[in-house]
Amino acid sequence: MEVKAHKYPTDFGDITLVRLVNSHGAAVTLSSLGAGILAVEVPDAGGEIANVALAYRNPADYMADGPTMGKTAGRYANRIAFGRFTLDGCRYQLDTNLPPHHLHGGAGGFQNRIWQTELLSNGVRFTLHSPDGEEHYPGAVDATVEYRWSDDNELSIMLKAASDAPTVVNLTNHTYWNLDGADSGCALDHALQLKASRWLPTDETLIPTGEMAPVVGTPMDFISPKRLGADINADFPALRYGKGYDNCWVLDREVSPATESDGAIVVCHHAMLRDAVVLTAARSGRRLRIDTDQPGVQVYTGNWLAGSAHCRSGRSYADYDGVAIEAQGLPDAPNRPEFPSQRLNPGSPMIRNIRYRFDCVD
């Protein structure tokens, strides 16, 4: 495995870019800005290698971008209703950076920080310290994102957080995929399959109602492979609210009962769910299979990509040019005791895993 790093100077500090190249020439490029993915270069059915992760031309453009392109979102990925939650009787008010709600940890979220970088034999480890009170969250948190790239074109991500006080954490990767090539245009012809028989209905501001609704008989049904664009224009509330898919599905798995420690709920750890998500592009023949131990997956069809920073083709992406598939804890879980807990306690680090496996359909 070839592992190379170099510094990219910006007005807000040096970014470290790390490139991993396996024995077959497939490669991943990672950035210390947001502990993010800048490129994943894998072969199509004809053996031609191309980048399939949407990317900006300038690595500095990832700072404070609207799409959160490729980065690690946190402290709390996705939404917290009205930026409020209560923990151990104390009420916390976060910034409402997506009025009237809190999104992806706020303007100073983990995705907009430069992480420390440590090279590994087949990957990289990014680390970040978030002090107590940052973005108005309780507790000092030490976060780790570890990427490893294999000769089998598998990109593994380990997400870890430890805190010195009770807090809430939800980490995910926010890469947008287009398996025909990052700059090839609309991705709505990709076929998506989810191991999820339930999804989370929301209000018009995309805050979950608390219901876990069956997908059968609705446009939210991806139990069998279906084109992303097949039902995207259906007269269905969730699709009207988001101008496309921007919703969370509950992955089908056995849920371990919650346990208690000193009166506090402990987040349950699950085994990896293999092929939790499968994304396929018929034109290129590329396939992305996602394994994870996270309880849910947010699917966002890039409904508001227009106007983003220029991509490597020298243009802004258009809406629907890529799809973000975010394995994560459930949105607004700090306010929903019926959802799996995203509480983080001192002495009990939270560890979550995502694995992206790239191949081609037969």
Predicted pLDDT at 253:
79
Burial status of residue 25 (CB atoms within 10 A of its CB: 0-12, 13-18, 19 or more): exposed
Per the annotation, the verdict on 326 as an active-site residue is yes
Query: Each residue of 305-314: b (16+ CB within 10 Å) or e?
Result: beebbebeee
Burial status of residue 103 (CB atoms within 10 A of its CB: 0-12, 13-18, 19 or more): buried
Predicted pLDDT at 264:
34
- In three state form, how does the secondary structure of 243-259 look? CCCEEEEECCCCCCCCE
Q: CB of 266 within 8 A of CB of 223?
A: no
Q: Which two tokens stand for residue 282?
A: 């018929």
CATH number at residue 42: 2.70.98.10
CA pair distance 270, 273, nearest whole angstrom: 8
Predicted pLDDT at 254:
56
Side by side, which strands form the sheet with 116-119?
Answer: 116-119, 123-130, 141-149, 154-163, 350-360, 286-292, 273-280, 191-194, 226-227
Catalytic residue, chosen from 101, 104, 174, 270, is 174
Beta bridge partners of 127: 116, 144
Residue-wise pLDDT for 223-241, tens only, equals: 999 999 999 999 999 999 9
Give the residue among 99, 95, 53 at the shortest CA–CA distance from 76: 95
Per the annotation, the verdict on 174 as an active-site residue is yes
Q: Which two tokens stand for residue 34?
A: 């947001």
Is the bond preceding 75 in cis, omega lying within 30 degrees of 0?
Answer: yes
| Amino acid occupying residue 69 | M
Predicted pLDDT at 270:
65
Q: Which two tokens stand for residue 265?
A: 């709920």
Q: Which two tokens stand for residue 167?
A: 């807090």
Strand, helix or coil at 320?
Answer: coil
| Amino acid occupying residue 108 | G
Q: Residue 93 sits in which domain range? A: 2-360
The CA angle 261-263-266, to the nearest 5 degrees, is 45
CA pair distance 166, 139, nearest whole angstrom: 6
Number of domain units in the chain: 1
Number of Cα atoms under 13 Å in the Cβ half of residue 359 = 10
pLDDT in tens, the chain (362 residues): 999 999 999 999 999 999 999 999 999 999 999 999 999 999 999 999 999 999 999 999 999 999 999 999 999 999 999 999 999 999 999 999 999 999 999 999 999 999 999 999 999 999 999 999 999 999 999 999 999 999 999 999 999 999 999 999 999 999 999 999 999 999 999 999 999 999 999 999 999 999 999 999 999 999 999 999 999 999 999 999 999 999 999 999 754 444 433 333 333 456 899 999 999 999 999 999 999 999 999 999 999 999 999 999 999 999 999 999 999 999 999 999 999 999 999 999 999 999 999 999 97
